[in-house]
Every structure is written in C-alpha cells, then in structure tokens.
Amino acid sequence: METVSPLKPAEPRTRKLSIHVVTWNVASAAPPLDLDHLLQLDKQNLNLDMYVIGLQEMSCGIMSLLSDTAFEDPWSSFFMDVLSPLGFVKVSSVRMQGLLLLIFAKCQHLPFIQILSAKSTPTGFFGYWGNKGGINICLKLYGYYVSIINCHLPPHLANNDQRLEHFDWILEKQSFEGPDIPNILDHDLIVWFGDMNFRIEDFGLHFVQEAVKSQCYSDLWEKDQLSIAKRCDTLLREFQEGPLLFPPTYKFDKNSNNYDTSEKKRKPAWTDRILWRLKRQPHTDSSTPRRLAPHLSLSLRSYNSHMMYTISDHKPVTGTFDLELKPLVSVPLISLMPEGLWTMENAMLINYSLTPDFPSSPWDWIGLYKVYIDISDIPETEDQFLLCYYSNSLRSVVGISSPFKIQPQAFLEEDPLGEVQPQI
C-alpha cells in the first residue's frame, strides 16, 4: 500500500508595509485647513498601509483638556476625517498633556495588529509633570513586537546632558504588563521620534544662518548634539536616522519661513527627529558582527521637513518607511461572515469560527461598520458594510469580514419560482 506524506503548510509570503511617520511641534495651534502634503495625499500611487502621527505642544489649558476629555481633540478629529474615507482606521491613541500619538492602519491589517500597551512617561518637574516626557504604544504587528514612542525632551543648548538623561529615563520606564511581553530593547522594532530639542554646538548664529542659506548642511552635522551623542553613547548608537538633507526645523517666526527674529534670536537647529532601532540576532562569536534578523527589515524611502506649514515655530518632519517582514501570524484569530442575505427588516445572523488558542471572553463583541469609499474612484454607490470582532482580552480587532451589502426590503422581489432574490 502506497503511503502519501502529508503536505507541509505553505510558508507565509513576505509582506511589505509602507509606513508614514509624522512628528510636529504644533505650538498650541489648531489644525490648518489642508494637510494633504504632510500626509502625502498629493502623491499618486503611494499605497501607504499605516500612519504614525506624533504631535507635541498641543493646546493643553484647563478648558482645552476638559473639552478634549469629553470630545475628541481637534487634531485627532481632523486626521480621522481625512483618513477614514481612504480606508484607514484609528488603531490606537495615547495623550499626555501636550503630547499626542495616533496610529492609523488600513482595514485589512487590523486582524494582525494587537495593541499590548499604551502608556505615558512624564519627565517634567522630577517626573511628576507631563509637559515633557514620552508616550508609547506597544503592539504586535503580524507577530512582531513593535514599540512606537513620541517624545518631547528638555529645551535649550546647555541642557544636552539632561536630554540624554530623559532619553534613558523614558526607555527605562517602558515596562509592560504580562509575562509574555519582552523588555523594550528586545522588541523587533522601536520607532522613536518627536521634538528632541537637540541643538547645534559651537558655531555662532551668523555661521549657522549662512550655512543654512547656502544649504551647506554638512558643515553643521558634526556639531549637531544628537549626532555627537550617537557617536559616543552605546545605546543611541543602535538607533538609525536618515540623512539631514533638509533645513533645520526650529526656530521660525510663526506664519512665516523666517528663522527667529525676536530678541532671543535662537540658532536654527534640527530639533525634530525620527529614529529607529531594529533588534539584532544574538551571536556567540565576538569576532563576527551582529546581523539583522532576515525576516524583518526596514528601509527609509524619504526623510523630509515641510516648509509650507507656518502655524508653528517648528516645521513638521516626516519619514516614509518600507517594512518588509515574513508574517509570524498569517491567519486571523477569528473568521466571520454574515449568514444568508441581510435585509433591513429581517433578523441578521453571523457565522464565525475561532482558532483553538483564541482567548475568548464574555466581554467580546461584534460590531457592524459602514465601509467608506471614495466614489470618485469607485463607481459603486450602494453602502457596503463590514463585521469586526473585538477581543476584550487582546484589546484589538481580531477578525474582519469581507465587505457586503444590506438590502432594503424594497429591493427584493419574488422570482417565478417563489424564491426571494436580491435585485442587483
């Protein structure tokens, strides 16, 4: 009798996710009318999968905080209004006074994004005040641990040592609930950005201004405090950054592109930065360099400032990344779909199945959501809907149905055989 060996499950294919990171000290300003350039919506065929948006110095007066507690803050509402019609969903957010961190993702990625933690680390007034510090969202993305940190470090040229201390302090305070979450330095990817407030040493105001005017940025790199610290600090050395090929992003007169003309005349500086760190494979042979894990890589597509925005004394900075990974999780924990034909007047049934290791809870729920589509691109005009399964234990959406329609009863009629058929 011939035996047939069982087929091996297919290896998950490599995925490439495009991630757009935004950092901006908005100096208490309200959102402008148009942020298409900042969000790269004016570029064709960009095909972004995720947005990571971090703001600093949002308005945080008593009345603003009370209003934002009762309602969505104006910046979050703005980004949701712009990105929702494009198929993005707000995955998570965290706020600490003037700091705000938002993560948006395309619907198809939601079952593979698990939010593990969202926390704040104040460093102002000996760690009791949140005007400075960091906020962090820790998640699992297709099975990989990813930490995203938005920070606002101490200002002024002379406070460089304090900035480095706060950088270390924010990192040390990133402890996570649950025995299965590794230390942040063991996460597969850390994306760290914000108003880091590092300045340019030694050179005088006139020299810096002339170097910026003539775009001789390389003359200033050697005296950039963050670049100096990365050469000396063992931990900072593991963080990467793109080349600073754009003008310093601080300090500007508001509503202009002129550097500070006030009495203080602050030297221009690259205060607003985006860094990242990939986990490296352990090695036993000290003679060979550590190599990046072959199943996860991050490449920087663009790193720019956006001079057209003048509402703040800072210019926003963006980084667009391509994250290539081999999914460790390739099947949703929950599969669900509507049972039969859904109409507005009949009972609606849902068929769903779950994986054997799924931690179900009586507090789980299934929601029905309208799919937002851009009718200028898609001729379909009838409303479409999605079913989403939310896991209370995992604090994440773990299953999404395919889009479907709910038929009004008026659109149904009997065929000659007496069966009810939808009218397409």
Tens of pLDDT, residue by residue over 38-72, are 999 998 888 999 999 999 999 876 555 555 454 58
Q: Per the structure block, which two tokens stand in for 400?
A: 């999404």
Mean pLDDT of 226-247: 95
DSSP category for residue 118: E
> Do the Cβ atoms of 387 and 402 come closer than 8 Å?
no
Measured CA to CA, the distance from residue 172 to residue 187 in angstroms comes to 14
Residue 27 confidence (pLDDT): 96
Check residue 377 and give its pLDDT.
Answer: 43
Task: Give the model's pLDDT for residue 46.
Answer: 81
SS3 assignment, position 160: helix
8 A C-beta contact, residue 335 and residue 355: no
E strands within 341-424? 349-354, 365-371, 384-391, 396-400, 412-414, 420-422
- Residue 326, pLDDT > 90, answer yes
The backbone torsions φ and ψ at residue 29, rounded to the nearest 5 degrees and listed phi first, read -80, 155
Does the pLDDT value for residue 110 go beyond 80?
yes
pLDDT at 102 over 80: yes
Euclidean distance between CA atoms 64 and 57, whole angstroms:
12
Cα maximum dimension of the chain = 93
Residue 286 has pLDDT above 60, yes or no: no
Q: What is the pLDDT of residue 175?
A: 79
**Superfamily of the domain at 15-325:** Endonuclease/exonuclease/phosphatase (3.60.10.10)
Least confident of 5-19, 130-144, 264-278, 350-364: 5-19
> Regarding predicted confidence, which is higher, 54 or 177?
54
pLDDT at 405 over 80: yes
Q: Report the alpha-carbon angle 384-346-342, nearest 5.
A: 25
At a CB cut-off of 8 Å and minimum separation 6, what does 199 contact? 156, 157, 160, 225, 267, 269, 271
d(CA 108, CA 129): 38
The average pLDDT across 150-174 equals 94
Find tokens 């308005």 and name the residue.
Answer: 59
pLDDT at 401 over 80: yes
> Among 186-195, 359-368, 403-412, which range has the highest average pLDDT?
186-195
Question: How high is the pLDDT of residue 414?
Answer: 39
Q: Which helix (H) or strand (E) holds 74?
A: helix 74-83
Identity of residue 118: A
CA angle 207, 195, 305 (to 5 degrees): 65
Q: What is the average pLDDT value for the chain, to the nearest integer?
A: 86
Q: Give the amino acid at 156.
A: H
Q: How far is CA 131 from CA 149, 151, 154, 312, 397, in A?
A: 15, 10, 10, 17, 32
In this prediction, residues 23-50 reach a mean pLDDT of 94
Pairing of strands 99-106, 88-96: antiparallel
pLDDT confidence of residue 128: 55
Pick the closest to residue 166 from 193, 223, 126, 138 (CA basis): 126
DSSP state of 311: S
What pLDDT does residue 44 have?
82
- The residues facing 343 across adjacent strands are 407
Domains of the chain, residue spans: 15-325, 334-422
Question: Which of 127-131, 299-303, 374-378, 387-391 shows the highest mean pLDDT?
Answer: 299-303
Read off the pLDDT band of 133 (50, 70, 90).
Answer: very high
Q: What percent of the chain has pLDDT over 90?
A: 65
Least Cα distance to 275 among 103, 149, 172 occurs for: 149
The domain defined by 334-422 folds into Immunoglobulin-like (2.60.40)
Q: How far apart are CA 89 and CA 320, in angstroms?
A: 19
pLDDT of residue 147: 97
Kindly state the average pLDDT of the residues 74-89.
Answer: 94
Beta-carbon neighbour count of residue 298 at 10 Å?
19
Average pLDDT rounded to a whole number, residues 334-343: 86
Q: Which are the contacts of 156, defined by CB distance < 8 A and separation ≥ 6?
A: 197, 199
d(CA 107, CA 87): 6
Mean pLDDT of 309-329: 97
Judged by average pLDDT, the poorest of 220-234, 241-255, 287-301, 334-348 is: 287-301
94 pLDDT band, cuts 50/70/90, is: very high
> What pLDDT, on a 0 to 100 scale, did the predictor assign at position 345?
72
Q: Which of 368, 367, 373 is nearest to 390 (CA)?
A: 367
What is the signed CA dihedral for 16, 111, 184, 360, rounded to 10 degrees? -160
Query: How many whole angstroms separate alpha carbon 151 and alpha carbon 391?
Result: 29
Q: What pLDDT shows up at residue 415?
A: 38
Output the pLDDT for position 281. Answer: 59
Share of the chain above pLDDT 70, in %: 83
Highest-confidence range of 3-12, 211-220, 356-365, by mean pLDDT?
Answer: 211-220
Q: How far apart are CA 120 and CA 173, in angstroms?
A: 9
